[in-house]
Amino acid sequence: MTALQGNMQPTYELEFERPLIRLEKQIEELEASMRAGGVDIGPEIRRLRESHTAMLRKIYEGLGPWNTVKVARHPGRPQTGDYLRLMFKEFTELHGDRHYGDDPAMITGFGRLGSHKVMLIAHQKGKDTKQRIACNFGMAHPEGYRKALLKMKLAEKFNVPVVTLIDTPGAYPGIGAEERGQAEAIAVNLREMSRLRVPIVSVIIGEGGSGGALGIGVSDRTAMMQYAWYSVISPEACAAILWKTGAEAEKAAEALKITAADNLKSGTVDEVIEEPLGGAHRNPAVAADRLEKWITQTIRELKRFKIENLMEKRFEKLRGLGDVTEAAGSRQT
């Protein structure tokens, strides 16, 4: 296993989770005093635990779009490295893009998932500061997208299904990225993934930001983790353009309809994978278990199709995306 394995950052607090954390501390203290003093305060602890669960449920049921974005970015949230560790029996990372260099923000390689051999293509964000900088915070360069395509073609050659895990705020916007053709790299991926002759399944596990996400996101089936976000642009960038200030990101997050439920409604994703109560960061193992089940079941389903039929369905799905009306009156050029 060569992929990055992160350290959790237990000190990180989401603002809307503060009452929960207070309760957790209270429970911990009571437990400690019970161990020390021997006084039976079990019922009290049980009562606090119950109210903790109730509060957790309430907070996460009413989680707005902006708080969803915060959960999606929680440093304790499982990332590609965690899922590799928790789900894969075997993984052989393949680095080469054969053109320019290796991009640590994009991980590719053969792996075994359940009974399936798969080609994994995944964004990697990194957990601590050092990793994050090395991975450019999950923002891939053109060489990352080209490596992804090269490995997808390799999978096609040996008839291995492709699994992509998406977790990026967007493709990297920098001088080198532009000069090496960020737009061209993504565009070619879109075209080639639409006609790849093996099943492709994609899951947005955290952030699904714009072309950087779609660049490895054209698939037969796309799912979203319950508290991931997916949209045409990040809320901050949208706010900076439309409201002229990044401070309005919360409004932008609402306007863009970026949650899993919204994407399911618009048909931009096919399924939502439920996260453990209180988000994947509370229980990465359960999250990984559900993700693995969805992926293996979906691959099994897709393998039943003849590849020509599967590709036809993939095309029809893409072709059908969009909402227009024929009502416009003017005929003017």
Partner 1 sequence: MAESAHSSPPGNNEPRATAGGASADAESPSTLVTARTWGDVTEPKRVTVPAGLWTRCPSCEAMLYQKTVEQNLFVCPDCQFHFRISAGERARQLCDQDSFEPMWDKLAAVDMLGFTDVKPYKDRLVSEQKKTRRPDAVVAGSGYIKGRRIVLACLDGQFMMGSMGCVVGEVVTRAIELATKENLPLVVVSCSGGARMQEGALSLMQMAKTSAALARLDAAGGLFISLLTDPTTGGVTASFAMLGDVIFAEPGALIGFAGPRVIANTVRQELPEGFQRSEHLLKKGFVDRVVHRHELRSEISRIIDFAGK
Which DSSP category does 74 fall into?
-
Nearer to partner 1, 52 or 221 (CB): 221
Nearer to partner 1, 88 or 227 (CB): 227
Among 218, 253, 273, 291, binds partner 1 (CB under 8 A): 218
Distance, CA of 219 to CA of 10 (rounded, Å): 35
Which DSSP category does 153 fall into?
H
Q: Taking CB under 8 A as the criterion, which residues in 260-289 touch partner 1?
A: 262-263, 266, 268
Q: Is 197 helix (H, G, I), strand (E, B) or coil?
A: coil
Tell me if 322 contacts partner 1 by CB under 8 A.
yes
Minimum Å gap between C-beta 328 and partner 1 is 3
Neighbours of 137 (CB within 10 A): 18
Residue 201, burial from CB neighbour count under 10 angstroms (0-12, 13-18, 19+):
buried
Closest by alpha carbon to 166, among 268, 246, 248?
268
Overall residue count recorded for the chain in this entry: 333
Region binding partner 1 by CB under 8 A among candidate stretches 59-67, 110-118, 294-302, 313-321 = 313-321
Among 124, 168, 226, 231, binds partner 1 (CB under 8 A): 231
Region binding partner 1 by CB under 8 A among candidate stretches 25-33, 111-119, 301-309, 321-329 = 321-329
Among 60, 110, 230, 294, binds partner 1 (CB under 8 A): 230
Which DSSP category does 243 fall into?
T
Minimum Å gap between C-beta 141 and partner 1 is 11
Among 76, 111, 211, 278, binds partner 1 (CB under 8 A): 211
Tell me if 328 contacts partner 1 by CB under 8 A.
yes
Distance, CA of 268 to CA of 321 (rounded, Å): 7
Evaluate whether 114 touches 88 at the Cβ level (below 8 Å).
no
Evaluate whether 112 touches 155 at the Cβ level (below 8 Å).
no
Tell me if 177 contacts partner 1 by CB under 8 A.
yes
Residue 121, burial from CB neighbour count under 10 angstroms (0-12, 13-18, 19+):
buried
Evaluate whether 34 touches 96 at the Cβ level (below 8 Å).
no
Tell me if 326 contacts partner 1 by CB under 8 A.
yes
Nearer to partner 1, 12 or 315 (CB): 315
Among 41, 187, 286, 307, binds partner 1 (CB under 8 A): 187
Residue numbers at the binding site for partner 1 (CB under 8 A): 171-175, 177-184, 186-188, 190-192, 194-195, 210-211, 213-215, 217-218, 230-233, 237-238, 241-243, 251-252, 255-258, 262-263, 266, 268, 314-315, 318-319, 321-333
